[in-house]
Amino acid sequence: MRLENKKILLIGGSHGMGLGAARAVLAQGAQVILVGREKTALETARDELVGNVRTVQGDITEVDSHEALLESIGEFDHVFISASPGGEAGFDAPHPRIEASYFYGKVWCTFKFLQCVVRYISAGGSITLMSGGYAVRSTPDYPLVSMAFAATEAMARALAVSIAPIRVNAIRPTYIDQKQPLTSKTLTGTMGSNDDVGDAVAFLMGNNYINGETLSIDGGAGVIFT
């Protein structure tokens, strides 16, 4: 297994797709560090998982805390950032300061965090970012989400060039919901699960020849004419 004994950092790993990624890499014998804002959620996730799991409380939207957070974790091999930054995302919101926007949390805070990450990631390591279907199919209600997802995919391509040989990729999950397993919006007729996303993240971490790419996880929805 390509991830056996590898140290994997999961930002936003206490729930959802981050937790799916934790299950996938632990199944390959990796060591996992879960980072999240809520101590209780981290402890619950740790108790659910089987394997070598450590939890660290942290928030990448607190830019001044990045160095101390990473110093407490130490060197690692791969990182997946699935954390949701919050913030206003609608067109009609007042947006008095960019720092209060979804775009700032998703794009700028991630970029600043990765500037620190490069000093802690090991040779042959990788970074996986999380976009979403709104990057290519926008919604009238949340334009800043679409903009942030598109920028996240651009970041993966740009940083793959700027910080090579560290690999940087993105995933674009769409229609992910285990509670509603059936849908007419995909070619599979089903919704995806957090574990489907986790398997994709583990694949990108373990494949040393994929770099600067965005992997769509959408049950074929992207090729349906709508």
Mean local confidence (pLDDT), 87-91? 91
Q: What is the CATH number of the domain that holds 159?
A: 3.40.50.720
Mean local confidence (pLDDT), 98-127? 96
CA gyration radius, the chain? 17
* Predicted pLDDT at 226: 57
| 1 domain residue, yes or no | no
Tell me which residue of 177, 159, 184 sits closest to 169, measured CA to CA.
159
* DSSP three-state, residue 18: helix
| 102 domain residue, yes or no | yes
Q: Which 8-state DSSP code applies to residue 221?
A: G
pLDDT at 225 over 70: no
| 87 domain residue, yes or no | yes
Read off the pLDDT band of 1 (50, 70, 90). Answer: confident
Cβ atoms 171, 217 nearer than 8 A: yes
Q: Which domain holds residue 205?
A: 7-223
The 10s digit of each residue's pLDDT in 30-86 is 999 999 999 999 999 999 999 999 999 999 999 999 999 999 999 999 999 998 888
* Predicted pLDDT at 180: 84
Strand order in the sheet with 76-81: 53-57, 31-36, 7-11, 76-81, 121-130, 167-173, 214-217
pLDDT at 179 over 90: no
Mean local confidence (pLDDT), 106-132? 97
User: What does the alpha-carbon distance between residue 6 and residue 157 come to, in Å, rounded to a whole number?
Assistant: 24
* Predicted pLDDT at 151: 97
pLDDT at 207 over 70: yes
Per-chain mean pLDDT for the chain:
95
| 39 domain residue, yes or no | yes
| 2 domain residue, yes or no | no
If one counts the domains in the chain, the total is 1
* DSSP three-state, residue 184: coil
Residue 119 main-chain phi, psi, to 5 deg: -85, -10
Full-prediction pTM beyond 0.75?
yes
User: What does the alpha-carbon distance between residue 190 and residue 105 come to, in Å, rounded to a whole number?
Assistant: 31
